[in-house]
């Protein structure tokens, strides 16, 4: 764990401090109607990047590929050569859950993310791509305030979950609603069952004396079993481990471990799932299984995935955000961004000129 040497927050003077703005609070979930240019949902990062049109493409009838303006055949892209794009349009229209407005993030004096504005919607997968050090992971970790465990982290801007500023939500409650899966599979050294059950056990936040009295009445194994099996089923792992849920999690293969981590992250029934390069430590077969899983899960939970693998982004993502040196360069519909990037730097990155 990185522990900074900076003396504290007081010493930090943010260089570009965009003032925290309050947005009008609208409690209703925002439904993006197909066919209606969702101007209010358009990201602020790039003027006129046609996010409304992008939403059309995804939510409209027919396949997403057929809607692409250029009409270039999918076989022409490098990803299609490796594996067919598995994204079908989501059956339900995307619903906005999280929203980033002019988010800037800093470690000490160094701003690693500047002025990023993005929507995160249920029913679609948002992929963050970009070279190492472009701030993707930091941005992802800020969505459930995991950046805060680094001592000298600073922030500016506004992040909302269902129109509620996330810093006003109790941090552990937020992290149960916005869970995360990491690059390295990191199951706890316990049984498969306990790994998932751990996420299910609620934190007692009440009078400490009463909590102490109640602690003997912890949830029983049999009470948790259906929920554990459900989570394992959603992560597509149940069939492989159903015969013995009580064997050590570390005896699973790497791909199974990562799916166990996804099951663990799904167990608390989160609203947003954050994936930080979930496949970079896995072999192609495990990767394919997890990619299918991601596409399936987006129906019920908003997914943000950070990936270095452009083919992967092409295979799973509906929208893609390209970041470079902490700034959001381009945001758009996946197939449009990969075939007709508007920005020079995006073009260079996806053609392998840097990164």
Partner 1 sequence: MTAAEPALQPPPVAAIVRPRRESTSSWPLVDRLAYWLCWAVGIGLCVVAVGIVLFMFIKGISALRPNLFVESPSQGVLQEKHSGGFLDPLIGTFIVTAIGIAIALPVGVGIAVWLVEYGRPRWLMRTVESAIEMIAGIPSIVLALFGLLLFARSFFGLLSGSTSAGEVLGQSFFNAGIVMSVLALPLIVVATREALLQLPARTREASFALGKTRATTVRRVLLPSIRPGVASGAVLGMGRIIGDTAIILILLGTLKLEGAGGAPLLSTLRGTGSTLTYYIYYYAPTGDGNSPKKAYAAGFVLLMIVLGLNALVTRLTLRGSGERAAVRGIFVRAWPWSGGRPWGGGR
Distance CA 302, CA 270 (A): 9
- Choice between 179 and 346, CB closer to partner 1: 179
Choose the stretch contacting partner 1; rule: CB under 8 A; options: 10-18, 143-151, 155-163, 324-332: 143-151
Q: Where are the alpha helices (DSSP H) in 103-177?
A: 136-142, 171-177
Distance CA 221, CA 223 (A): 5
Q: Is 97 in the site for partner 1 (CB under 8 A)?
A: no
Choose the stretch contacting partner 1; rule: CB under 8 A; options: 56-64, 169-177, 308-316, 345-353: 169-177
* Cα angle: 100, vertex 123, 63; to 5 degrees: 120
Least separation in angstroms between CB 186 and partner 1: 4
- Choice between 261 and 337, CB closer to partner 1: 261
Strands 272-276 and 178-181: parallel
Choose the stretch contacting partner 1; rule: CB under 8 A; options: 157-165, 180-188, 291-299, 329-337: 180-188
Distance CA 268, CA 306 (A): 22
Choose the stretch contacting partner 1; rule: CB under 8 A; options: 83-91, 187-195, 292-300, 308-316: 187-195
- Choice between 207 and 253, CB closer to partner 1: 253
Tokens in use for 35?
């066919």
Q: Is 1 in the site for partner 1 (CB under 8 A)?
A: yes
Least separation in angstroms between CB 319 and partner 1: 23
Distance CA 91, CA 232 (A): 23
The 239-258 site mask, x for binding partner 1 (CB under 8 A), equals --------------x--x--
Least separation in angstroms between CB 215 and partner 1: 11
Strands 153-161 and 164-165: antiparallel
Least separation in angstroms between CB 16 and partner 1: 28
CB 222 within 8 A of CB 291: no
Q: Is 173 in the site for partner 1 (CB under 8 A)?
A: yes
The 192-231 site mask, x for binding partner 1 (CB under 8 A), equals ------xx---x----------------------------
CB 174 within 8 A of CB 145: yes
3-state SS assignment for residue 79: helix
- Choice between 148 and 296, CB closer to partner 1: 148
Tokens in use for 286?
């495990």
Least separation in angstroms between CB 25 and partner 1: 24
Using left for φ > 0, alpha for ψ between -120 and 50, and beta otherwise, residue 130 falls in left
Phi, psi of 303 (to 5 degrees): -125, 130
List 112, 126, 139, 180, residue binding partner 1 (CB under 8 A) = 180
List 175, 229, 233, 342, residue binding partner 1 (CB under 8 A) = 175
Q: Is 188 in the site for partner 1 (CB under 8 A)?
A: yes
Q: How distant is the alpha carbon of residue 14 from its chain centre?
A: 27
CB 286 within 8 A of CB 254: yes
Distance CA 128, CA 141 (A): 12
**Chain contacts with partner 1 (rule: CB under 8 A):** 1, 144, 146, 149, 171-177, 179-180, 182, 184, 186-190, 198-199, 203, 253, 256, 261, 264-265, 268
């Amino acid at each position: 764990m990185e522990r900074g040497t900076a003396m504290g927050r007081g010493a930090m003077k943010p260089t570009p401090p965009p003032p925290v703005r309050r947005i009008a609070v609208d409690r209703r979930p925002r439904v993006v109607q197909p066919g209606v240019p969702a101007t209010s949902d358009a990201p602020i990062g790039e003027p006129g990047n046609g996010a409304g049109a992008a939403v059309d493409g995804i939510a409209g009838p027919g396949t997403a590929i057929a809607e692409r303006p250029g009409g270039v055949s999918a076989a022409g892209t490098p990803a299609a050569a490796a594996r067919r794009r598995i994204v079908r349009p989501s059956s339900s229209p995307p619903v906005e859950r999280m929203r980033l407005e002019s988010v800037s993030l800093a470690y000490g004096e160094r701003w690693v993310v500047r002025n990023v504005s993005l929507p995160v919607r249920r029913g679609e997968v948002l992929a963050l791509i970009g070279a190492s050090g472009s701030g993707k992971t930091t941005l992802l970790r800020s969505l459930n305030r995991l950046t805060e465990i680094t001592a000298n982290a600073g922030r500016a801007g506004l992040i909302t979950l269902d129109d509620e500023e996330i810093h006003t939500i109790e941090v552990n409650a937020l992290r149960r609603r916005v869970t995360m899966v990491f690059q390295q599979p990191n199951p706890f050294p316990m049984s498969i069952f306990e790994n998932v059950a751990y996420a299910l056990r609620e934190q007692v936040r009440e009078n400490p004396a009463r909590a102490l009295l109640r602690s003997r009445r912890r949830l029983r194994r049999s009470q948790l079993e259906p929920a554990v099996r459900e989570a394992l089923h959603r992560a597509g792992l149940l069939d492989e481990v159903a015969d013995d849920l009580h064997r050590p999690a570390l005896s699973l293969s790497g791909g199974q471990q990562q799916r166990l981590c996804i099951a663990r992250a799904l167990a608390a029934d989160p609203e947003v799932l954050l994936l930080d390069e979930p496949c970079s430590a896995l072999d192609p077969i495990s990767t394919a299984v997890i990619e299918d899983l991601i596409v399936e899960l987006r129906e019920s939970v908003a997914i943000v995935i950070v990936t270095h693998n452009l083919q992967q982004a092409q295979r799973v993502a509906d929208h893609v955000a390209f970041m470079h040196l902490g700034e959001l360069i381009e945001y758009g519909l996946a197939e449009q961004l990969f075939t007709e990037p508007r920005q020079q730097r995006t073009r260079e990155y996806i053609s392998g000129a840097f990164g």
